[in-house]
Amino acid sequence: MASVIKLESNVEESISYNPATGVEVGRVAQTSAEDVQAAVDRSRETFHKWKNTTFRERRALIMKAREVVLSEMDEIAHLISAESGKPFGEAIAMEIAPVLDLMQYFARRAERILKPRRIGIGLYATMGRYSKIVYHPLGVVGIIPAWNYPFSIPLGEAAMALMAGNSVVIKPSELTPIIGLKIGEVFAKAGAPENLVQVISGDGRTGAALVDAAPDKIMFTGSVATGKKIAAAAAKNLTSVVLELGGKDPMIVFDDANLELAAGAAVWGAFCNAGQSCSSVERLYAQEGVAEKLTKLIVDKTRELKQGTGDREDVSIGAMSSERQLKIVEDHVNDFREAGATIEIGGKRNEALDGLFYEPTVITGATNDMRPMQEETFGPTLPIATFKTEEEAIALANDSEFGLTASVWTRDYAKGKRVAGKIEAGSVCVNEVLYTHGIGQTPWGGFKNSGRGRTHGREGLMELVQPQHIHVNRFALLPDAWWMPYSATAVETFRGIATKFASGSLAKTTTLIPQLWKRIRELRKK
């Protein structure tokens, strides 16, 4: 929940509320487009100093920021809980712990990942040449996150960008501006140079102003529709973008799976963060022989879950982040009902609570032709469909515009890996679910409409640098055979290069040596 009020003629202030209680969490002024441009300009100035720091200096800053987060862990978790509605224990488990792990990993590893490296250049090496790849930072990285993981996603991306030598401007979601400001405070307390990490505030207009201010990279997390707008706007300045968009992630449970475990995973995968994770289980496909038993286990486990305000330790399911999001869930559940699916448990707002609470909902009889099996729900719903064969399960899972994550449950690991390889998704787990965003070492991103580019892992760090190829000819005594002027001898040599040298075979290339000498002698006479 957030509302915008006019302060003065041209300054707007946004009020952030706790979605579980309606109590105000804080207020922020919307950063104007001019101030966004000024922030990006300041950021670029700071970048020119920061890019010259050593990895040791960058590591010291990130490790100090980690210490600040650790020392304020409970306070930060309560703030995340207050602004997003999630249980504060979940804020520790799903935001603070993973981002602390990611920060230590990149603080220690970035130098090794970005070390200049020699690469093999095949037969060119026989001509005395070698190639080295050096990684340069990009400049200003603009981070535009969503509200569902308002702390860990922008903080993790900022830490990676800084380790790569960039400066950062963060535009938090308008639903979670205060936690966004907290990230700026963490870096300030860690002693970050002025303007190295700046946090600006506001809604989509501020986000659009950040894109227009021509940073050198945009890291975006949010909806497909906004991702497309950002990609289009960024194209004007040729700013490259990483888009982490939504998902409709399938979970496939084969009849040989450990059903007790699969049921627990389905409940957590569908309902943690009130279902507002891009990698939430949004579709469960159960093999026909076990569907009934699995559904019963899931419904029994769902019945045990407590829903309430995020400050209570025994609460598993908190509030949804906004009325708008809750309405999408209501709309999807109604659609399921009308299409003939059965609501096994839940299916309505939690009337016993005042805030934005939707009961965890298990639905059976779902089929892929129902609209909410195709659109992202982003709420605490778990629709269950059935399948007969492995091929059918793969086809059902792939029948989606999205492809972020998926999971396969079976005791037959060969089958698990075989099916995983056929699923069109950026991450596929066998006998695990949802949590791989928490493994900072591995790339994160989607196939199809789930995104472009990667965050996390080596691949994610590579998004934040530009590779430079340095090519050296150590025997710079002779002209190259392909230089000008051309002649009949030249063309004959080029034929030889195409048929022999370009075959990659040293033996074939050796037979070309007389022709090469002929050509080089010709060039030297000119």
Rounded to the nearest whole angstrom, what is the least distance from the CB of residue 93 to ligand TXE in the complex? 17
Q: Which is nearer to ligand TXE, 434 or 490 (CB)?
A: 434
Query: By CB under 6 A, is residue 242 in contact with ligand TXE?
Result: no
Q: Give the count of beta carbons closer than 10 Å to the beta carbon of residue 195.
A: 19
Cis amide linkage into residue 215, ω under 30° from 0 = no
Question: 272 an active-site residue?
Answer: no
Nearer to ligand TXE, 279 or 410 (CB): 279
Is 280 a binder of ligand TXE (CB under 6 A)? no
**Residue 400 touching ligand TXE (CB under 6 A):** no
Q: Which of 226, 381, 386, 449 binds ligand TXE (CB under 6 A)?
A: 226
Among 50, 358, 378, 435, contact with ligand TXE (rule: CB under 6 A): 378
> Applying CB under 6 A, does 144 fall inside the site for ligand TXE?
yes
Could you give the CA distance from residue 433 to residue 406 in angstroms, rounded to a whole number?
A: 8
Alpha carbons 53 and 172: distance in angstroms, whole number: 27
Joined together, the tokens standing for residue 177 give: 């501006």
Where in 290-329 is the site for ligand TXE (CB under 6 A)?
325, 328
Applying CB under 6 A, which part among 93-101, 223-231, 255-263, 491-499 lies near ligand TXE?
223-231
**DSSP letter for each residue of 217-245:** EEEEES-HHHHHHHHHHHHTTT-EEEEE-
Which span sits near ligand TXE by CB under 6 A: 21-29, 34-42, 131-139, 244-252? 244-252
Determine if 203 is a binding residue for ligand TXE (CB under 6 A): yes
Nearer Cβ to ligand TXE (171/454): 171
Nearer Cβ to ligand TXE, position 101 or 331? 331
H or E stretch including 28? strand 24-29
Closest-CA residue to 362 (of 393, 333, 383, 339): 383
CA atoms of 250 and 322, how far apart (whole Å): 25
3-state helix, strand, coil in the chain (%, to 5): 45, 20, 35
Tokens standing for 90? 């979940």
DSSP state letter for 358? B
| CA 485 – CA 44 distance, rounded (Å) | 45
What's the rounded Cα separation, in Å, for the pair 128 and 131?
11
Does residue 211 touch ligand TXE according to CB under 6 A? yes
Q: Are 293 and 258 in contact (CB under 8 A)?
A: no
Part in contact with ligand TXE (CB under 6 A); list of ranges 222-230, 412-420, 488-496, 512-520? 222-230
What is the amino acid identity at position 119?
A: I
Kindly give the interhelix angle for 390-398 and 413-422, rounded to the nearest 10 degrees: 40
- Residue 221 within binding range of ligand TXE, rule CB under 6 A: yes
234 or 430: CB nearest ligand TXE: 234
User: For residues 98 and 234, what is the distance between their CA atoms, to the nearest angstrom?
Assistant: 30
Residue among 199, 376, 425, 436 that touches ligand TXE (CB under 6 A):
376
Q: Indicate the residue among 165 and 383 with the shorter CB distance to ligand TXE.
A: 383
Which one of 16-24, 74-82, 206-214, 433-441 is the stretch in contact with ligand TXE (CB under 6 A)? 206-214
Give me the least distance between CB of 287 and ligand TXE, in Å please. 29
**Strands 342-345 and 361-364, sheet pairing:** antiparallel
Q: Does 204 bind ligand TXE (CB under 6 A)?
A: yes
In the complex, least distance from residue 209 CB atom to ligand TXE, rounded to whole angstroms: 8
Which amino acid is present at 462?
Answer: M
205 - beta bridge partners? none
| Burial class of residue 324, CB neighbours in 10 A (0-12, 13-18, 19+) | exposed
Q: Are strands 447-448 and 402-403 parallel, antiparallel or unpaired?
A: antiparallel
| 429 belongs to the catalytic site | no
Residue number, 167 or 325, with CB nearest to ligand TXE: 325
Q: Tokens in use for 98?
A: 């993973």
Residue nearest ligand TXE, CB atom distance: 207
Question: What's phi and psi for 277, nearest 5 deg?
Answer: -115, 145
How far apart (Å, rounded) are the C-alpha atoms in residues 394 and 396? 5
Among 25, 170, 208, 263, binds ligand TXE (CB under 6 A): 208
* Contact range with ligand TXE by CB under 6 A, out of 29-37, 145-153, 188-196, 343-351: 145-153
Report the site for ligand TXE in 324-363 (rule: CB under 6 A). 325, 328
| Residue 95 within binding range of ligand TXE, rule CB under 6 A | no
Q: How many of the chain's residues bind ligand TXE (CB under 6 A)? A: 26
User: Do 219 and 242 meet the contact criterion of CB atoms below 8 Å apart?
Assistant: yes
Query: Which position among 46, 81, 148, 386 is part of the footprint of ligand TXE (CB under 6 A)?
Result: 148
Stretch that binds ligand TXE, among 61-69, 205-213, 341-349, 428-436 (CB under 6 A): 205-213
Using rule CB under 6 A, residue 90 touches ligand TXE? no
Catalytic member of 244, 282, 375, 463: 244
Contact flag: residue 278 with ligand TXE (CB under 6 A): yes
Residue from 95, 157, 272, 278 carrying the catalytic annotation: 278
Those residues whose C-beta lies under 8 Å from the C-beta of residue 140, and which sit 6 or more positions away, are: 40, 43, 44, 47, 166, 167, 168, 169, 215, 216, 217
- Would you say 39 or 263 has its CB closer to ligand TXE? 39
Cβ pair 164, 456 in contact under 8 A: no
Residues lying near ligand TXE in the complex (CB under 6 A): 144, 146-148, 171, 173-174, 203-204, 207-208, 211, 221-223, 226, 229-230, 244-246, 278, 325, 328, 376, 378
Catalytic center residues: 244, 278
